Structure 1
């Protein structure tokens, strides 16, 4: 990584309107447009499918193990994000790991409140089981809200008596709806994309105050025993840093194998900028290595 690469990305993020100044439809359109510019693997094959009423998208490359798959849950504060916004991240991660991917277009707030995304994630996972995938050959993953949702999904699966997946990948996961991490304040000036104010706004669209301690919304507060190995990647310069540290500590305390990587001076979910940021590509490669270890 060069200082110039990082500066280009931070300048780009600071040049766009602050998320708090945009409506949710505007946020959705902007992130979809940004995602459309990301390069996909040249040999990737995409297939859109439906799971009940949900849209989802398979990706695969010729070298992918057909018996291993990653169920991916995009970020976006439960209010925006889509198959389009994260297609580059998901397909490149799957290609590097040599696994198929299934990206899920789960329902979003304010049209669909909590616990709709958790229910949709469970439906996506059940679909993989119904398709004959062995649980130990499935990984679940996500970034930001999607990273928290991946952990909430595993809690829901365990509590329902369903087999948990073989591994989980969480990129800068949002796991605490109480927003109590110190980094919400100490990293506020360093994070050009996420703020406590904006997370509070998204919570207001997504979930009633009385439900914010539900482990399906705040998995940091849940029982994490019996979950599979988890890899967490987070930046030192983002407000969700303490969410990552705290969930890693709670996973370890529950005897869950956890691998926490803190990458210095990166923007939130820097993997999205892998085309222009070498650390984005490097983070994808390390995440892919973890997936190969665990589900191939």
Structure 2
């Protein structure tokens, strides 16, 4: 099954004001994804830390298979169900602690635990370190007795591409697939060759082609950027679980989402693509100020709940 959903234009002045305000916020923000790694990690962390977590969210460090993780819990959850979460940051920025805000928002809507994986980052630990860490964490979660049928993967940006790559790696390792996977604005082509890389460049307030190419070089080292576990749009996706892909129309990674969807559909994966108009990269992070983000997270939660296999 392949399902494409382009969300209808909602032309209220309030909605349009929200989109414009978010665009301005990102255009004039301090983050430069392609800049000095140490500086940008600190800036990224500071931006995340400036928004306090809700008081009813708990986050504690742990480890799975030797990989650091953060376990995120919200009230009224079903502890037998787990969202395994993969943060974004172009494989060089971000962390599991930085992801708690968005991970907890999803977990609350799904009523499940979230476990965010603190996979190793480039350039210190290049490809395939992130994939190896993700597989190790998932294998350990299964080893704790959590059934694959009660696990869903969620990832944003590079974490979204990592989700798809890890699903392929699980298939190659004959490990059971999770119940479903939802990815937001996935970076799924490290050749940085999608049409939207140039056609959406002026509209994208968060990412630039140069930044992605810089981070791709850091992550890949001497590896082929079209390797299936680096760029899953070039992988055989057959046998993967139901997949939801959400993307904004104002981002240079729009074509990554479209091509990942097409590849999945060609390989007989149940896949849904939701394109949200006039919103930027990982717009779901801004549910507090953007109605589109709130609706997208509700749709992702409904998808995950629908696809539990028990």
31-40 or 124-133: bigger deviation: 31-40
Q: Does 1:5 align with 2:18?
A: yes
Cα distance, 1:35 vs. partner? Answer: 1.5
Residue aligning to 1:59: 72
Cα distance, 1:182 vs. partner? Answer: 0.4
Task: Supply the distance in 1 between the matched residues of 2:218 and 2:121 (Cα, whole angstroms).
Answer: 9
Task: Supply the distance in 2 between the matched residues of 1:282 and 1:39 (Cα, whole angstroms).
Answer: 22
Residue aligning to 1:86: 99
- With normalisation by structure 1, the TM-score equals 0.96
- With normalisation by structure 2, the TM-score equals 0.91
Query: 1:25-70: per-residue Cα shift (whole Å, max 9, x none)?
Result: 1211111112123353442222210235432111122311111111
Runs of 4+ aligned residues of structure 1 deviating over 4 Å after TM superposition are: none
Residue aligning to 1:200: 213
Q: 1:285–1:37: structure 2 CA closer, same or farther, 3 Å change rule?
A: farther
Q: CA contact under 8 A between 1:41 and 1:92: conserved in structure 2?
A: no
Q: 2:62 aligns with which of 49, 56, 70?
A: 49
Q: CA contact under 8 A between 1:147 and 1:173: conserved in structure 2?
A: yes
SS state of the match for residue 75, structure 1? coil
Residue aligning to 1:110: 123
Cα distance, 1:177 vs. partner? Answer: 1.3
Residue aligning to 1:162: 175
Task: Supply the distance in 2 between the matched residues of 1:35 and 1:83 (Cα, whole angstroms).
Answer: 12
SS state of the match for residue 39, structure 2? helix
Q: CA contact under 8 A between 1:188 and 1:238: conserved in structure 2?
A: yes
Q: 2:269 aligns with which of 256, 272, 277?
A: 256
SS state of the match for residue 252, structure 2? coil
Residues matched between the structures, number: 296
Q: CA contact under 8 A between 1:75 and 1:144: conserved in structure 2?
A: yes
Q: Which runs of 5+ in 1 are unaligned?
A: none
Cα distance, 1:210 vs. partner? Answer: 3.9
Residue aligning to 2:11: none
Q: CA contact under 8 A between 1:145 and 1:174: conserved in structure 2?
A: yes
- For residues 1-296 of structure 1, the aligned pairs below 5 Å read 2-17=15-30, 19=32, 22-295=35-308
Query: 1:157-202: per-residue Cα shift (whole Å, max 9, x none)?
Result: 0110111111001101111111121000000000011111110000
Task: Supply the distance in 1 between the matched residues of 2:118 and 2:61 (Cα, whole angstroms).
Answer: 11
57-66 or 218-227: bigger deviation: 57-66
Task: Supply the distance in 2 between the matched residues of 1:166 and 1:19 (Cα, whole angstroms).
Answer: 35
SS state of the match for residue 214, structure 1? coil
Q: Which runs of 5+ in 2 are unaligned?
A: 1-13
RMSD: 1.5
